[in-house]
Structure 1
Amino acid sequence: FPELDVSTPTVGEKLNHKHNHYRQMLDNILAGYCLPEPYHLMRLRDVIDRFMSSLRDPSLPLLELQEVIASISGRIPLSVEKKIRKLMTLYERNITSVLAQFPSQQIASVIDSHAATLQKRADRDNFFLTTQGIVQLVQRYRNGIRGRMKTAVHELLRQYYEVESQFQLGHYDKCVTAIRDKHKDDMAAVTATIFSHNQVAKKNMLVTMLIDHLWSNEPGLTDELSTTLNELTSLNKSEHSRVALRARQVLIAAHQPAYE
């Protein structure tokens, strides 16, 4: 069992650490590690609101990048670090502007440009290995803060679907047998899947709340996530009906023309 940390992050904690904490709590719920009621429902709404709020905050990518840079400072050329820090400063200066865009492409260009000057393959490989954390971060934000939010929600919905889609074959025992056959050499995966499914009712709350939050606060994203939501509508067991119905309702509403 993972150690369940259900505490609220301290007020002085940085936003990126709070964000990671909320994401871990949601991942734990989807893995089946849920609080008993009435605590689960009370906690869930707050965690989803805080998680989505942290994703909207323009300072999140800056704080994440500052942490990565601090961990590799001195191991990358000073010229590269200076150029990246300059881009970070420019972004921080304009962070309150609605036009402010996290400089993902520019940071990636700094890394690629320096790599192109390295003659030895070993030097290039070492440089890319050292800057891997930066590259992964800028890829996460390559479509801006909104793109990062879309990816995060997609990952959570997929976690739910990947487990619950394995319980569509009819009787529960038949589903378990199919899961065991699929993971013959990995009983830990079998156990984790069954353990997660046992909390399907509480996971349903998470998914429906997440979809509702999207529809209320980011209606445009529901259209962009239509493929993921369509997968949820394909779940045909009664225990998934609440999620399938909510996904279908939101998809229909997203495609209705706006009133003039």
Structure 2
Amino acid sequence: MFFAKPGIYEPCGIFSITHIIVLVICLVLIGIFVYKIRNITAKKLNLITRIIAIVIVFLETGKIVFSFVNHQTNLDSWVPLYFCSMFIFATILSGYAKGWLKSLADAFIGSGGIIAGAMFLIMPSTSLTIYPMFHYLSCYSMLYHSLMVFLGMGYLLNGIVVLNKSLCIKYMIFCSFFSLVAVIFNVTLNTNFMFLREPYNIPLPFLKPLSEKLPIFYTLLMFLSCTGGTYLVIDIIVKLINNIIKKKEKLLDGENNSY
């Protein structure tokens, strides 16, 4: 089962009992490990980033080998050029590069990358719709996206990134570069990288007819959702959390002053 070809076993599916159980386990483990790294040094977090980069490059290579062994040689099947695939390049640049390239990668990991990882864990529209949960690609997908959330939250909590206008610009530059590469491939080679040509298994029914009737508008919508949309979501969440914390601190200060 672990390396079975597609179609042999029933897919796990989205929101199945198995998916929900594994999702809860992933979220609990993310919470535990994020708590453990909440106050570590930037040097130690960089070491963790380097280790994660090595691990996911190794596992991604395994995914590519699996595709070729099963004669899935079309570019869509094995080239890592999707929104979440940027995490591979981001960990390499963040862990091993310096200067501007590192700051671009940090921006992706510590902001929109968290949202992308979390959204996949909740709605795994690729591997879990094709394979059972305990398949190599399904296990890898859940681990991969859990690492996206874990590392991104680590960057936020430890101050590696601070959500502001400068970070937003860096994030959009990073995402825009890979999106532009994807569009070039999609136009010239008829691929569907970043799902910028059609929605594949994204569980939003209106996207499929939109991609057929208004392909340019669909591509633009997906591009804006993946770049500005993901950053906006994490920015709103962080601001809400900070406001809640500030209100609690004011209440505590008021209670202390009353004594």
Would the TM-score normalized by the shorter structure come out above 0.5? no
TM-score (norm 1): 0.29
Larger radius of gyration: 1
Flag the structure with more relative contact order, 1 or 2, with Cα contacts below 8 A and sequence separation at least 6: 2
